[in-house]
Amino acid sequence: MVESVIKPPIPRIRRLPLDAVNRIAAGEVVERPAAAAKELIENALDAGARSVRVRIEGGGLTRLTIEDDGHGMSVDELPLAIERHATSKLAADDEGHVDLLDIRTMGFRGEALPSIGSVSRLTILSRARGADGAFEIGVDAGKVDGPKPAAWSGLAGNGTRLDVRDLFYATPARLKFMKTERSEAQAIADIVRRLALARPDVAFHLDSEDRAVIRLAAEQGDEARLKRLGAVLGREFRENAVEIDAEREGVRVSGFAGLPTFNRGSAQHQYLFVNGRPVKDRLLAGVIRAAYQDFLARDRHPMAALFIDLDPMQVDVNVHPAKTEVRFRDAANIRGLMIGALRHALAGAGHRASTTVAGAALGAAASRVAPSLPWNGGQARWSPARPVVGGLDYATSHPSVSDNRPASFDAVGGAPSGRVEPPPLAPAGPQPQSLPPLGVARAQVHETYIIAQTADGIVIVDQHAAHERLVYERMKAQIAGDGVKRQALLIPEVVELSEEEAQRVLDRADELLEMGLEVEPFGRGAVAVRATPAIFGEMDVKGLVRDLADDLSEYEAGLALKERLEDVMGNMACRGSVRAGRRLTADEMNALLRQMEATPHSGQCNHGRPTYVELKLADIEKLFGRR
């Protein structure tokens, strides 16, 4: 018996209905209210607007209104504006060809308005410059109504108002993927801020549920960008940012980047612009991370607002319908220029640390100050720190031997009183008005922190963090020169490891030698260390080698140690630096301060923590109610 085989009909190629095409396009261009706001604000900027007002309800899903004072649209242009791929931003040459690389406007695809109109109730009211009246056109889920005459009450004599109601009502499945109204409103606010940073010459207003969220006046003059940055990112960013300005091979990188100690827990506070267009590009974000990699811990991110300007022919912005990604023709040049510009600017900041470090310290201190302290007749005795022999180059990882006297106040006979007998730990030194930037050391507290007097306050230095940065910078300088100088050991140090760990260290012996560490095999499961970096002086050799073995196990197989050079040097500097708990003499402390003043990036350790906190005398006096 022969079974009959039923074959399915052969599918035929056919055109999709226009409304389906627009809804498919809307899924790429307008995936959330913030994307719709971005497209419409960019249209306003391309239309020459000098003021843009945004109003939202229900996180932009219920209503999104954008009004501008641009050149507006005529009655003949309104029907074209809601057609797919109709735009005023691209022009064809005599032969009908359009150059998609030479794009000098924010938008160019001609998809935003028809896409938004296909999934919402869209109303466009516009009055062209020089026209006698205004006209209105409506699009309800793709159905067009108008154009027709309408009353005009815009920001100026001409402009456009776009009113988007019930976004995605025509595609209810999309509404299930929206976040809360609060989250959507915050996303719109972020879009407005990014576009406001790109165009400081334009005023921006954002209202949410009749509440003013953003009020930015138009800025003019040479400092327009800096003023807008301060208004958007806050006064603290202006105070703790370094200026970036570099140019090479027709590419210019400008803007501002925060000091390493002025950082955040996410990269949301990094704003990148290419030819005035806000972008979120992985290449550019990776460049910022690389520039700060030896200043910040991996879970911390710097604040930055960087502007890249280059020939439009050298960058492709037609990569994605949302136009937030770009592709550079010479990406290596962009990367090298950005890293060089960022590191040069950070090096120029010297030992400067962010002002927020001191503010946080003062805030913590103020919260702990009691309204009154019941002092009684007890006495307190000052025990100076016992000096140790040697200078900063002898960076032993073990605390020095001390007697039983604490290096601080000892309470005798009850609570401490205000009577203290302090022999000066450091000499009187110069007068306050002639003190160097980080002052003169006056004491060491808990064998960890150095207290220095400055011209107008005090500086508290974390001796380990500070010396760690100094050692690290010296190692980088030596490797960039003729390599790290080695100090031969009279008796080689034998370090017991597992066979796997020992082999891992020996496989990188040549690379470790460039960093001043000379190792060789010593039987099974052991290595002999014959020389150490001279910059460390005395150090815990066994601890360093064991830690390096652990570090090397985390690297990918075959990855050159040079590629992780800064990580390895940072770890070596951390383990070889002056430890907390080591007592320093006055000369050692002052030498540390002077080296910090002369060393770039000494305001933070290799992990992004501040190396010192500066407290102004006026702020200290406030803590005691003197001001």
Query: Prior bond to 406 cis, omega within 30?
Result: no
Least confident of 71-75, 88-92, 362-366, 484-488: 362-366
pLDDT band, very low/low/confident/very high, at 37 (cuts 50, 70, 90): very high
Question: pLDDT tens digit string along 454-470?
Answer: 888 888 898 888 888 88
Residue tagged 């998809």 (tokens) = 111
d(CA 471, CA 489): 20
CB 608 within 8 A of CB 263: yes
pLDDT at 297 over 80: no
* Residue 437 exposed, middle or buried by CB count within 10 Å (0-12, 13-18, 19+): middle
Most confident of 101-110, 299-308, 318-327: 299-308
Q: At what angle do helices 565-576 and 541-554 cross, to 10 degrees?
A: 150
Give the pLDDT confidence score for residue 416 in this predicted structure.
33
Give dist(CA 577, CA 165) in Å, integer. 63
Topology annotation, domain 378-627:
formyl-coa transferase, domain 3 (3.30.1540)
pLDDT of the residue at 8: 65
* CB-based contacts of 503, cutoff 8 Å, min separation 6: none
Predicted pLDDT at 369: 47
Closest by Cα among 316, 309, 327, 198 to 249: 309
> Is 378-627 in the same CATH topology as 224-349?
no
- pLDDT, residue 216, reads 93
Q: Which CATH architecture has domain 18-88+101-216?
A: 2-Layer Sandwich (3.30)
Per-residue pLDDT tens over the stretch 411-422: 323 333 333 334
From 301, 307, 305, 310, select the one nearest 331 (Cα to Cα).
310
| All residues at 6 or more sequence positions from 14 whose CB lies less than 8 Å from its CB, including other chains | none
Please tell me which residue, 315 or 105, carries the higher pLDDT value: 315
- Say yes or no to pLDDT of 400 above 50: no
Q: How confident is the model at residue 185 (pLDDT cuts 50, 70, 90)?
A: very high
**Please, which residues bridge with residue 613 across strands?**
460
Question: Class for domain 224-349, per CATH?
Answer: alpha beta
Report the Cα 53 to chain-centroid distance in Å.
29
Percent of the chain at pLDDT exceeding 90: 17
Domain ranges of the chain: 18-88+101-216, 224-349, 378-627
Task: Say if CB 95 and CB 71 are below 8 A apart.
Answer: no
Confidence of residue 574 (pLDDT cuts 50, 70, 90): low
- Tell me if 388 sits within 8 A of 420, measured CB to CB: no
Give the pLDDT of residue 253: 92
Q: Token pair for residue 171?
A: 């595609």
Tell me what pLDDT residue 576 has: 57
Q: Return the structure tokens found at 304.
A: 């930055």
Interval 206-226: pLDDT, tens = 999 878 999 999 998 878 888
Rg (CA), the chain: 32
What's the mean pLDDT in 480-485? 73
Spatial neighbors of 597 by CB under 8 A, at least 6 apart, are 350, 351, 436, 437, 438
Instruction: Of 433, 440, 466, give the one whose Cα is nearest residue 611.
Output: 466
Structure tokens at 133: 């009246």
